[in-house]
């Protein structure tokens, strides 16, 4: 079956003209299309603001039902626009589309997809328009929402279940860039990326593709094409592309720079060796969005450092209160807001001369680095929020616009 999944984000459906443009693109497709939609424009944020104006602690089930209305409106609107063009179309809810989740409200994961009704719709010459960002709990049948960017994951999951040729993610940029092109004028569009590199960029803060969607695509080997919703130019293909060199022989190679702002840093003191595993497990809850920075060694009591989104602090505090009551640590120190900047690539090692060059250059620019974590594919630093743009700019110039002599450094 010549079938592609086309996912349209909120910026691609922000008003009547954009919805009409998306409908025309679908109508012009050579083969069959299944469309997946996000909420229009800032509808999700508007619903979140509504909930928070009513209560400081919105009930998770009711919040999911409230937020899900945005995608339902988008799906119906796009189906209306397609039918007006003479293209038979039908909107599908998560239940209609067979999107089954683990049932965790607000941060559900897709566990299976039964696309029978969608497949039947395609077979009759219609375009299914499916609500993204949501699914039905396997045990209770309740509606649940995925985490931020969950419509990307819905699209990839449908592409895998329907054995589509590709999953096209339409957005407001032309593809995946070496840095955020809205901030860094020198950022370059990448023609291809491996699943691994895209996952690291997403984990570092790149918002063009949700991290969960990249994980799903990698597991099911779904080719993903990130492209502009306003032009016909080719975007960035995210596939199983791999480096020919073995890991031990890879050079220090940078792919891109990602960043996050609005982060808070937490340091737990007095974490005993027996409590370390329990603390790490409690903070690994996907609802908390914790990024570990410290790698303490077993032995005497030590400190554990991590960063979280500022909006998640209340949830983290609740977990920490239980851990402290159980004697897992002695003191807790919060600081911020701050930012996290990550250089993504391969061949990274803690003692590589370029890591020292990176830190020395940032220091010379007046960027006060608080934490440094070096993984094989990502180097992350934390700094004050007002230093984030300088840090991203400097790292991009150093490693992604290199001079000939710098390219020869291994």
Tell whether 279 and 173 lie within a shared domain: no
- Band (323; pLDDT cuts 50, 70, 90): very high
Instruction: Tell whether 227 is in a known binding site.
Output: no
CA distance 58 to 51: 6
The predicted structure's pLDDT at residue 403: 53
Q: The whole model's pTM is what?
A: 0.88
Statement to judge: residues 114 and 25 lie in one domain: yes
Is 221 a member of any domain? yes
- Residues in CB range of 293: below 8 A, 6 or more apart: 265, 305, 306, 307, 371, 373, 380, 382
Looking at residue 275, its pLDDT comes to: 86
Residues 370-386 have pLDDT tens digits of 888 888 899 999 999 99
Do residues 262 and 327 share a domain? yes
List pLDDT tens digits, range 243-284: 544 455 568 889 999 999 999 999 999 888 888 888 888 888
pLDDT on residue 295: 55
Is 7 assigned a ligand-binding role in the annotation? yes
CATH number of the domain where residue 167 is located? 3.40.1160.10
pLDDT (mean) for 311-319: 89
Model confidence at 345, in pLDDT bands (50, 70, 90)? very high
Would you say residue 244 lies in a domain? no
**Residues 45 and 178 both lie in one domain:** yes
Task: Say how many domains are in the chain.
Answer: 2
Domain around 222:
3-239
Residue 247 falls inside a structural domain = no
The verdict on whether residue 10 carries a ligand-binding annotation is yes
Is the residue at 245 inside a domain?
no
| Residues 55 and 141 placed together within one structural domain of the fold | yes
**9 annotated to bind ligand:** yes
- Is residue 182 exposed (0-12), middle (13-18) or buried (19+ Cβ within 10 Å)? exposed
Whether residues 211 and 318 fall in one domain: no
Residues 208 and 287 in one domain: no
Q: What is the mean pLDDT of residues 13-17?
A: 94
Q: For 280-294, what is the mean pLDDT?
A: 78
Q: How far is CA 371 from the centre of its chain?
A: 22
**Is 57 annotated as contributing to ligand binding?**
no
**Rounded distance between C-alpha atoms, residue 67 and residue 133, angstroms:** 9
Q: Bigger pLDDT: 272 or 208?
A: 208
Query: Residues 273, 317: one domain?
Result: yes
59 part of a folded domain: yes
Burial class (CB within 10 angstroms; exposed 0-12, middle 13-18, buried 19+) of 1: exposed
CATH number of the domain at 341, please.
3.30.2130.10
Q: Is 356 annotated as a binding residue?
A: no
- Does residue 50 have a pLDDT over 70? yes
Domain end residue (candidates: 173, 204, 239): 239
Q: Does the residue 62 lie in any domain?
A: yes
Is 186 marked within a binding site? no
Q: What is the pLDDT of residue 376?
A: 86
**Residue 235 and residue 185 share a domain:** yes
User: Is 71 annotated as ligand-binding?
Assistant: yes
Average pLDDT (345-354) is 87
206 plus 299 within the same structural domain: no
Residues 95 and 134: their CA atoms lie apart, in Å, by 9
154 within some domain: yes
Residues 393, 301 share a domain: yes
What is the predicted pLDDT for the residue at 263? Answer: 94
Residue 315 CA to residue 224 CA, distance in Å, equals 33
Angstrom distances, CA of residue 165 to CA of 97, 241, 285: 19, 16, 34
Share of the chain above pLDDT 90, in %: 72
Residues 218 and 332 both lie in one domain: no
Q: From 239, 273, 293, give the residue that closes a domain.
A: 239
Residue 106 has pLDDT above 50, yes or no: yes
Q: Which of 24-28, 74-78, 146-150, 392-396 has the lowest mean pLDDT?
A: 146-150
Annotated binding-site residue? 106: no
Confidence of residue 297 (pLDDT cuts 50, 70, 90): low
- How far apart CA 86 and CA 317 sit, in angstroms, is 54
Contact 27, 83 (CB under 8 A): no
């Amino acid at each position: 079956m010549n079938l592609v999944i086309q996912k349209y984000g909120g910026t691609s459906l922000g008003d009547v003209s954009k919805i009409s443009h998306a409908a025309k693109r679908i109508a012009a497709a050579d083969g069959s299309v299944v469309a997946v939609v996000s909420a229009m424009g800032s509808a999700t944020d508007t619903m979140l603001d509504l909930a928070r104006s009513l209560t400081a602690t919105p009930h998770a089930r009711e919040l999911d039902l409230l937020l899900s209305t945005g995608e339902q409106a988008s799906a119906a609107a796009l189906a209306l626009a397609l039918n007006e063009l003479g293209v038979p179309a039908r909107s599908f809810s998560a239940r209609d589309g067979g999107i089954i989740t683990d049932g965790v409200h607000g941060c559900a994961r897709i566990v299976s997809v039964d696309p029978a009704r969608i497949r039947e719709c395609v077979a009759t010459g219609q375009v299914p328009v499916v609500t993204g960002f949501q699914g039905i709990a396997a045990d209770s049948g309740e509606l649940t929402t995925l985490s931020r960017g969950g419509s990307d994951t819905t699209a990839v999951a449908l592409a895998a279940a329907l054995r589509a040729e590709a999953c096209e993610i339409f957005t407001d940029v032309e593809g995946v860039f070496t840095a955020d092109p809205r901030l860094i004028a020198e950022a370059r569009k990448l023609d291809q990326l491996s699943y691994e590199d895209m996952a690291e960029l997403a984990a570092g803060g790149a918002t063009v593709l949700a991290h969960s969607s990249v994980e799903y695509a990698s597991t099911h080997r779904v080719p993903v094409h990130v492209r502009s919703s306003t032009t016909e130019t080719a975007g960035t293909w995210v596939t199983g592309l791999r480096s020919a060199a073995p890991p031990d022989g890879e050079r220090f190679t940078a792919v891109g720079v990602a960043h996050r702002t609005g982060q808070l840093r937490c340091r737990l003191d007095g974490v005993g060796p027996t409590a370390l595993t329990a603390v790490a497990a409690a903070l690994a809850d996907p609802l908390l969005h914790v990024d570990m920075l410290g790698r303490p060694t077993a032995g005497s009591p030590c400190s554990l450092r991590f960063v979280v989104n500022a909006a998640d602090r209340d949830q983290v505090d609740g977990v920490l209160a239980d851990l402290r009551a159980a004697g897992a640590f002695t003191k807790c120190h919060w600081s911020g807001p701050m930012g996290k900047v990550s250089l993504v690539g391969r061949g990274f090692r803690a003692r590589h001369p370029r890591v020292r060059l990176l830190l020395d250059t940032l220091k010379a620019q007046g960027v006060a680095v608080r934490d440094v974590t070096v993984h094989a594919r990502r180097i992350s630093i934390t700094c004050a929020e007002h230093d984030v743009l300088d840090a991203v700019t400097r790292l991009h110039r150093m490693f992604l616009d290199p001079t000939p002599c710098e390219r020869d450094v291994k």
